[in-house]
A and B are shown apart, each in its own frame.
Chain A
Amino acid sequence: MASVTTRALTKTYEGSEKPALDALDLEIKDGEFLVLVGPSGCGKSTALKMIGGLEDVTSGDILIGEQRVNDYASRDRDIAMVFQSYALYPHMTVFDNIAFPLQIAKVPKDEIARKVEEVANILQLQALLHRKPGRLSGGQRQRVAMGRAIIRRPSVFLMDEPLSNLDAKLRVKMRSEVAQIQRTLGVTTIYVTHDQVEAMTMGDRVALMRAGVLQQVDTPDNMYHAPANTFVASFIGSPAMNLFHAACENTADGAVLTLGGQKIAVPSAALDRYPGLKDRASGPVIVGVRPEDLEDARLKPDHPTDQVIEAEIQLLESLGSDHMAHVALNATPVHDDEELGQEDLDLTTGSHEGICICRFSSQSRATRGETVRIAVAADRLHFFDPDTRQALRPLGD
C-alpha cells in the first residue's frame, strides 16, 4: 500500500499545442479512494494511464510511495487496473483470467488456486470459474475484472470508468460493491468516471478536471457546498446549480442582490461564506443557487419576505417526492459546462431570459403557467466573480 503523488504532471500529445493534461498536482493518501471526474476529454483518463505507465510523461513527476516511477514499466509499479472494457482475456477461463497475474509472477499452483478461491468468494464468482468471458453477463465480467485486479493485492488500484458499460440498476449495485471492496482491502484507489453521482457517492475525495486542468480536489460535501468556481458548481449536483448574472449592492445593513429586477437580501451567513463579496464594491456578480434552496413560498409562511422572488412556472416535472419547477427569470443565465469562455446567451430563446430550476416539495400545489412566489434560502447562495468565475472567497479555503 502506498500513497500516490503527482507533481506538475503534464502530457502534450504530438501535433497538439495544448496539453491534454496540464500540470496536475495531486496527493492521494495511502488507502484513500480518489475519484477523478470531469467531462470527456478533460484529461482524467490520460492522467490515470500516465500513473499506470501506459502513457509517457511529457513533464512532471509521479510518485508511488516515496518512489518516483516515471521511468518504471507498468508491471514494475505494483498497480492493478480495471478497464472500462474490462479487457478480460477472451481465450482464458474466469479462473485463468483471475489467476493470470499470479501465473506471470510464477506463484506456486496450489497457492494460486487458494487465492483465486478466496477472490471468487469475495466476488461471488465460484460458479463461473470454468466459463470463458464470452459467456458471462456484463456484471459478471465486471466482477472478474475486479478479481483480476485484487488478487495480487497491489499498492494501488486504477479504475477507468469500470461501471459505465453496465445498465443503470446494476451500476448502482456495483457502485456500492466496489466501494465496499475498496474499504475492505484498504488499497489506495484512483477511480476515473464522467458520472458525478459515482464521484460523489464513492470517493473519499473527488478531483474535478476540465480541459486538462484540475479545478478542485475535495471531499464530496465540500465540492457540493463550496465549489471553487462556476464549473465545479454546475458540474456537481443534479439538477445543476442555477447560475445567473446579477448585481450586488453593499449597504450599511448588508448586501442586496438584484436578480432579474427582483431584490433579495443577502444575510450575513452568506457573506461569511463568501467574504470576497463583502470586500467588493457594488457591481455585477454571478450568483448560484441550488434547486433545493428554492421552495414554494406558500409552504414556508415564516420565510423572510425580503428573500422571496416571483416567477412564472413554465414546466413542472413531478418526481413523486419533489416537484421540479422550471421558472422563467428575467436574468442572464451562466452556462459553464463544456467550453471555457462560452457566451452566456440562452441559445434556445435568444433572449436574456433564463430558466431556473426549483425543487418544490411534493406538498406544493403550484401549477404550470402560474406565477409563484419562491422562497430563496439566501444564506446558502453562492457567489462568483463574473470575470474569473472563481468563488468569491480566498483560495485554498
Chain B
Amino acid sequence: MSELLSPTLITVAMAAALIGALAGVMGTFLVLRGQSLLGDVIAHASLPGVVAGFLISGGRGFLAVLAGALVSGALAGLAVQGLRRGAGIKPDAALGVVLSLFFAAGVVLLSLAQLRPGSAGLTVFLFGQAASVLRADLPAMALVVALVLAVLALFWKEFKLVAFDREAARAQGLPVAALDAVLTVLFAVTIVLGLSLAGVVLMVAMLIAPAVAARQWVRGLAPMVGLAAGFGIFAGLSGATVSALGPGVATGPVMVLSATALAMLSVLLAPERGVLGRVLGQRRTRRALRGRQVLEALGGLGRDHGDPGFGPEQGMLRAYLGAGTTRVLARLQREGLIRPAAATVPQGRTPRWELTEAGHARLAALRAEGGR
C-alpha cells in the first residue's frame, strides 16, 4: 500500500490525468473532423524531431526535444495538406506516405544518435515511459494544458462551426485556413505533451478512444468534450495505478488499453447508439411484427369464414406464415392473446388456435394504429 501512494506514483498519476484530459478534449475535434489519422501522422512524425532536438542540443534537454517534436509534427501536418491540396493526392495516400517518411527518418536518426553518449533514454519516446516524467515537469505541463484549453474556449464557436460545416464557415467570412492552422498546432502540442507517457506509436489512441467512447453517450458538442476529458482522466489514472501494481508494467500502454476498453464498452452498450441497443431494438420490432402477422392471419381467416371464432389449424398457419410460427404461437398464448380452439370432428392433423378477447382487442388496436 505504501508503495501505491509513493510520490512517483502521484506524479505519474497527475501527469497521466492531465494528458488524458487534454487528449480527450482535442481528440473530440480530431474525430468529429474525420482527421483521426492526422493525429497518428503527427505523433509518428514527431520522432525525427525528438532525435534532432537531442542531436542539436547535445543532450536530452526536455525543452529541446519537445521543440523538435513540435516542429517535425507540425511540418508533417502541413506536408499532408500540401500533398492533398497542391498535388491532388488522395488523403489516405498522403497520410500514409508522410507518416512512413517521417517515421523512417526518425528511426534512421535514432540509430545515428545511439552512437552518442547519453542517448539511452531516447527510445523512451517510441512507447513512452511514465517514470521519465519528473515532479518538476508537472507545473509546466499543467500550464500548457491550461493554455491549450484557453485557446479552445476562446475560439469555441468558430472551431465548432468549422468542424460541422467548413463551407458555411467560409461563407460567413471566418478565416477557416487560419483556424485550421491554430487547431493543428493545438493537436501537435497535445501529442508532443503525451509523448513521454504514451510514445509516438500509441499516442493516437489516447486522442481517439476517449472521443469515440464519449460520442456514444451525448447529444451535444460540449458534453462530448467534457465526457471525453473524463474518460481520458479515468484512463490516465487507471494506467498509472495498474502499472504501479506490477513491476515493469508500462503506464502508457495500460492507459491505451483502458481507454480502448471504454470505447469498446461504449460502442456496445450506449443506450441510443450502442450496437447492443440497436440489435435488441431490431429484435423487438421483428417480434412485434411476427406476432401481428399471426394475429392478423387468425382474425382474417375468421372473417373469411364468416365466423370470428373460427380456429384455423396450426399447419395451415405455418404454411401461410413460414417456419418459426410455432414459437410465435406459443408466445402469443403465454401473453393470453390466443388459446387452443375446441377440437372439431373430424379431428385435424395439428392443434387449432383462436383469438381470445384480449387478442381481438389487441388486433383492433393494432389496426387502428396502422390506419392512422
Q: Are A and B part of the same complex? A: no
Chain A residues in contact with chain B, CB under 8 A? none
Chain B residues in contact with chain A, CB under 8 A? none
